[in-house]
A = this chain, B = another copy of it.
């Protein structure tokens, strides 16, 4: 370490720690009358939000929650979740946001592994919860969350119903200062192999993530994503990386916020219309669902901005949304990264391009935000050229990356091999710093000595007007090592087969964009494509199903 002039600890006594409470206090100061809305059931202002967070902090403290203990939540996206995102860390406890789309066994695993002591359970999940209750090893007390009139529960250690507890608690709480490196939140990644892995983030990390998100989304003019007169509604579950951290940013800036509960397309549409939602974020599949929802067909989404992450944004979806007035913009991150790493950005040079070329920029993973350092690396740990062509694993530095997997020392060492966080994504970085994700390392298709990006193939196939949805994976081939295989859901009333697909892809071979081995010789025309709990293509399951279909000679396989 260099011998710089470091402020001695005695003097830094006046240094203010970075704590989540500051974010809430900022929002209340900017906009005390701004609204928080939950479905068509509840609306209240920021002053009330602050009081409700205080009430919740008091209720949790009275229930026995101590600093350092873990408080878990099983809820749909709600104002209650937002309140927990503040109150739990603000009393020094750790918030575990349970992925309610995991299997009961996996949920049980994560709750025991995270050492949850308190659990807040939505009445919709009580049956699920009761099913695992007797296998929980650390939970002592439970609180019921409900939209209905049920106020009691036979869950073990039942403390009371959420609104009752808040009503009985004081609306004042003097939130303490503590070490900014205290863990604030934890949740589990939906890995496709082995047990879910726990990531965790500190107050310092979440404050830095929030400030950087606000700065980069608000102050970059050529693709401005967010301002505080926007109306925000998440369409990414709050259990999933704190809904990408945007509820913290929205609160700090005092935005109107709408929480939709379950993702019922008709309700989402109703809320978008009624509350004039202008800003959201989701994975591509969910956006597709929304655009095709009943009541959405004639809706003009003019001016609405939606950040797409979780999976690659393909050009077909970008154009479909644009035709409806919606401005899509890709961003990149993952559970391990808090999550924001990069977002689409048009610099002075790219800004001058035509609409078509600009669209090509806006669907890439984008440019890393301030404080992020991104590189690409080969398997031996060498940095590769940032020329927009050379592919390698994307590795990262940023002040808000998980410091490891909770109680998984070996996997943590692997994640941070060589002092860089390994994303498991194959990417290129161009001369503008723009990251383009080519594939997951394990989804790249290796054929005839070439690497083919399954994402790029999906993107090109999605351009065919008969294609509603597509997934491409590599399947074993004795001659070529692997061959690409496409699952396609055709649009209603449209036909698709391997011949049509070949004709569609041929021009891209001719212009050199893909090589001829990239054309799948066999495809499956299906009604649905398997997805993970967070709506991503589940390529592990897809590969398994293809093997079975091929063995069984399934009728929906089409071969050139």
A15 within 8 A of B: yes
When the two chains form their complex, are residues A7 and B202 in contact, meaning their CB atoms are under 8 A apart? yes
Q: Please tell me if the beta carbons of B367 and A29 are within 8 angstroms of each other in the complex.
A: yes
Closest Cβ neighbor of A434 among chain B residues: B29
A 343-386 contacts with B by CB, 8 A: 345, 347-349, 367-371, 373
Task: Find chain B residues with CB under 8 A from A345 CB.
Answer: 30
Cα A290 to Cα B345 in complex, Å, equals 36
Within 8 A of B (CB), among A21-80: 22-23, 25-26, 29-34, 66-68
User: Is A178 in contact with chain B by the CB < 8 A criterion?
Assistant: yes
Collect the chain B residues with CB atoms within 8 Å of residue A12's CB.
181, 403
- Copies of this polypeptide in the complex: 2
A215 at the interface (CB under 8 A from B): yes
CA distance A34 to B219 in the complex (A): 16
**A550 in contact (CB, < 8 A):** no
Known: A6-B179, A370-B22, A370-B211. A421 touches B33 (CB 8 A): no
A179 to B4 CA separation, bound complex (whole angstroms)? 8
Contact B18 A399, beta carbon cutoff 8 Å: yes
Which of B5, B15, B432 contacts A32 (CB under 8 A)?
Answer: B432
CA A183 to CA B3, docked complex, whole Å: 11
Of A222-230, A309-317, A469-477, the one with at least 4 CB within 8 A of chain B: A222-230
B residues in contact with A217, CB < 8 Å: 219
With A and B bound together, what is the CA distance between A82 and B30 in angstroms? 33
Q: Which listed residue (B66, B202, B347, B369) contacts A33, Cβ 8 A?
A: B347
Q: A94 contacts the other chain (Cβ, under 8 Å)?
A: yes
Nearest-Cβ distance from residue A41 to partner chain B, whole angstroms: 23
Indicate if A166 sits at the interface (CB-CB under 8 A).
no
Interface centre among A17, A252, A416 (most CB of B within 10 A): A252
A348 and B397 CA atoms in complex are apart in Å by 39
Pairwise interchain contact B94-A22, C-beta atoms closer than 8 A? no
Residues of chain B within 8 A (CB-CB) of A68 are 2-5
> Are A221 and B228 in touch, CB under 8 angstroms?
yes
Task: Kindly supply a per-residue 1/0 record for chain A positions 382-395, scoring 1 wherever the CB is within 8 Å of any chain B CB and 0 otherwise.
Answer: 00000000000000
Identify which of B2, B215, B220, B432 contacts A67 (C-beta below 8 A): B2
Contact partners of A4 in chain B: CB under 8 A: 67-68, 92-93, 178-179, 182-183
Residues from chain B with a CB closer than 8 A to the CB of A181 are 6-7, 12
A484 at the interface (CB under 8 A from B): no
Whether, in the assembled complex, A134 has its beta carbon less than 8 Å from a beta carbon of chain B, the answer is no
Nearest CB in chain B: distance from A520 CB, A: 37
With both beta carbons as reference points, the residue of chain B lying nearest to A9 in the complex is identified as B181
Q: Does A433 contact B (CB under 8 A)?
A: yes
Tell me whether A253 is interfacial, beta carbon within 8 Å: yes
Please, which residue of chain B has its CB at the minimum distance from the CB of A374? B29
What is the CB-to-nearest-CB distance from A211 to chain B, in angstroms, rounded to a whole number?
4
Extra pairs beyond A2-B176, A2-B182, A30-B220 (14, CB < 8 Å): A1-B178, A2-B92, A5-B183, A6-B182, A7-B181, A7-B182, A16-B398, A18-B208, A26-B369, A34-B347, A211-B370, A219-B227, A221-B227, A222-B229
